[in-house]
């Protein structure tokens, strides 16, 4: 990753002087919402002109996003949340109750609840205790002739090894669905996440790398899948129809998953600085990778060719409560984010075998901040405090 200090500092200065932030409780919060000043007037104009629902700003956001991450905009489907993106991916696949899906237990319930709601049979694979991502050896064991999809989460922005996963499912009729809610700007072999799986689901929820209030993007490998997803996004009706759209027949029943113009304006404005922000996340994450040296702390393993987007920085600690207290005392927010899903009643039946990697990760994993609001001096302070922990 190339990192230009000048650009970084100019960007941070611009953000400090021009923009407003939510007020954090901690000196170094785990998350922060970026609010470009340019948003206010644009939203006001859209409100005054009545252009509130899905419209030209939604189309522009979809196009600008695809351009920023080198994607074909015909494959991108803008929706109102990451959960909606996942729901559409499962729906486009036409999964049936008799089908099986292998998924990760270490994630936000949003990954698995749409499957639960559609009564699709899910099997939790164990996760790798050193990454938080799917343990591919265990995935191999769970595959059978009913397996139709594997849902893989890029935990904290560290890509799961899609290239290896592809090899495992070679010649099988199994699709890869990537939950990339944490992984905007992450790469495998120099290609952005969004270019590898069959369906890739991003989230623009409040605390992600960028936000549109709520929002999400489904990226489909096949344009035909994206076309179907676009129809399902809005009641099964095509928005491209010339004339009164409601006169079209509805042959597949859909959802109301579109992102409105107001949220899209926020998304468009956020996109303008997303690359420099992601670079700061990456700089800070790499800094901790190189500089944490404490035998009580274990770092996440990263495979050759992968580039994390370091949404947050997960570490494995000997004693979670002790470490959390120590970091919080030093003004550094340190906490869990999502919890293993098999702790929830609705998902208990998805646990089909022991999950020792998940047990370990759950017991030892905590997160510290590395986001765009943390500058060079501050990241070195965070590293220093981690190294001083006894």
Ligand X SMILES: Cc1ncc(COP(=O)(O)O)c(C=O)c1O
Q: What is the binding site for ligand X (CB under 6 A)?
A: 81-83, 107-108, 110-111, 153, 179, 181-182, 203, 205, 214, 216, 338
Nearest distance from C-beta of residue 83 to ligand X, angstroms: 3
CA angle 95, 100, 104 (to 5 degrees): 105
CA atoms of 2 and 184, how far apart (whole Å): 17
Task: Return the number of the residue (69 or 287) whose C-beta is nearest ligand X.
Answer: 69
Task: Return the number of the residue (51 or 335) whose C-beta is nearest ligand X.
Answer: 335
Task: Return the number of the residue (294 or 338) whose C-beta is nearest ligand X.
Answer: 338
Nearest distance from C-beta of residue 107 to ligand X, angstroms: 5
Nearest distance from C-beta of residue 367 to ligand X, angstroms: 12
How far does CA 224 lie from the centroid of its chain?
24
The residues pairing with 79 across neighbouring beta strands, listed in sequence order, are: 216
Nearest distance from C-beta of residue 264 to ligand X, angstroms: 15
Q: How far is CA 67 from CA 107, 140, 194, 270, in A?
A: 28, 35, 12, 14
Task: Return the number of the residue (36 or 216) whose C-beta is nearest ligand X.
Answer: 216
Position with the least CB separation from ligand X: 82
Spatial strand order of the sheet with 313-317 comes to 297-299, 313-317, 365-368
Task: Return the number of the residue (105 or 326) whose C-beta is nearest ligand X.
Answer: 105
3-state secondary structure of 106: strand
Nearest distance from C-beta of residue 153 to ligand X, angstroms: 5
Q: How far is CA 90 from CA 69, 78, 150, 208, in A?
A: 23, 16, 11, 22
How would you classify the pairing of strands 365-368 and 313-317? antiparallel
Nearest distance from C-beta of residue 331 to ligand X, angstroms: 25
CB neighbour class for 197 (10 Å; exposed up to 12, middle 13-18, buried from 19): buried
φ and ψ at 320, to 5 degrees? -60, -50
Task: Return the number of the residue (107 or 263) whose C-beta is nearest ligand X.
Answer: 107
């Amino acid at each position: 990753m190339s990192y230009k200090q000048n650009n970084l500092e100019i960007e941070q200065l611009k953000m400090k002087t021009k923009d407003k932030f939510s007020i954090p409780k901690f000196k170094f919060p785990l998350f922060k919402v970026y609010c470009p000043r340019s948003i206010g007037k644009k939203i006001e104009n859209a409100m005054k002109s009545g252009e509130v629902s899905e419209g030209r700003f939604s189309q522009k956001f979809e196009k600008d996003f695809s351009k920023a991450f080198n994607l074909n905009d015909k494959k991108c489907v803008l929706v109102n949340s990451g959960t909606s993106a996942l729901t559409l991916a499962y729906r486009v696949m036409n999964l049936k109750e008799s089908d099986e899906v292998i998924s990760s237990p270490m994630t936000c319930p949003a990954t698995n609840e749409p499957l639960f709601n559609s009564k699709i049979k899910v099997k939790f694979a164990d996760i790798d205790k050193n990454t938080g991502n799917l343990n591919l050896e265990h995935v191999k064991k769970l595959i059978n002739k009913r397996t139709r999809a594997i849902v893989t989460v890029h935990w904290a922005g560290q890509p799961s090894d899609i290239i290896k996963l592809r090899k495992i499912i070679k010649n099988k009729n199994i699709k890869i669905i990537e939950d990339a809610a944490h992984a905007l700007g992450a790469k495998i072999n120099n290609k952005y996440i969004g270019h590898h799986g069959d369906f890739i689901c991003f989230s623009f929820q409040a605390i992600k790398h960028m936000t549109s209030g709520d929002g999400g993007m489904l990226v489909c490998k096949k344009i035909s899948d994206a076309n179907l997803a676009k129809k399902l996004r809005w009641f099964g009706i095509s928005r491209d129809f010339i004339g009164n759209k409601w006169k079209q027949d509805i042959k597949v029943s859909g959802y109301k998953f579109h992102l409105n113009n107001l949220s899209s304006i926020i998304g468009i404005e956020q996109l303008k600085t997303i690359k420099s922000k992601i670079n700061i996340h990456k700089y800070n994450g790499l800094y901790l990778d190189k500089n944490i040296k404490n035998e009580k702390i274990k770092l996440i393993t990263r495979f050759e060719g992968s580039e994390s987007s370091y949404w947050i920085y997960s570490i494995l600690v000997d004693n979670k409560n002790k470490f959390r207290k120590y970091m919080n005392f030093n003004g550094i927010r340190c906490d869990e984010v999502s919890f293993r899903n098999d702790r929830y009643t609705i998902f208990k039946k998805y646990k089909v075998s022991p999950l020792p990697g998940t047990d370990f990760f759950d017991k030892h994993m905590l997160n510290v901040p590395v986001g765009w609001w943390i500058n060079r001096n501050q990241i070195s302070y965070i590293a220093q405090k981690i190294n001083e922990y006894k």
